[in-house]
Chains A and B, each alone.
Chain A
């Protein structure tokens, strides 16, 4: 069974810092990988989808990379802002969607 791990579980950074969130998975036979953001009391909002044939995707200040062979993905957030504070989850897409437990990010003004 696919297992998805996100480290760290929580992260606190001062505003303006660049940061990296990590996602690792045990089975490299995946179709895609998707990063989500979840604000407290809200649903999950899709940030980036990386196809298995791609190595990275960018959207604004966000950049996600995928290394299938090593079972890793990273989400890079440039110039962090307080509005980036949320929980970030990665989902690995094989025969179904497998979610990590998330990283809770706090950006301190």
Chain B
């Protein structure tokens, strides 16, 4: 398996623009997580899905952030409009609940909002 695949690896955009991050979880996994990592705040859970349904989105900072999981093999995290304070590394991770809960991470998207 190719592991969790995220795209793009790097994204540089201007304040006010829309940003869409993409994630393909490991095939067969039924849980998907979006995390944000910064030096100041460490690793923060934004939202997680189980069987394509959002279970907990309490970590989503504000209405500018939205996430979707239209099927078991694809998820998006959208920021609209983006702001400089959104600059961070965004990770997607997946696991199979009922299988030991082991979490697998993608390589992340480095987002810079100018």
Contacts and interface: CB of A to CB of B under 8 A. Distances in A.
Contacts of B56: 96
Contacts of A46: 102-105
- Range class of the B interface residue count: 10 to 19
A76 interface: no
A32 B101 contact: yes
A101 B43 CA distance: 7
B107 interface: yes
B91 A44 contact: yes
Interface of A: 31-32, 34, 36, 41-46, 49, 51, 89, 91, 93, 96-97, 99, 101-102
Given A44-B93, A49-B102, A97-B93, 13 more contacts: A31-B101, A32-B100, A34-B101, A36-B105, A42-B108, A43-B105, A44-B105, A46-B102, A89-B43, A91-B103, A96-B48, A101-B43, A102-B42
Interface of B: 33, 42-43, 45, 48, 56, 91, 93, 100-108, 110
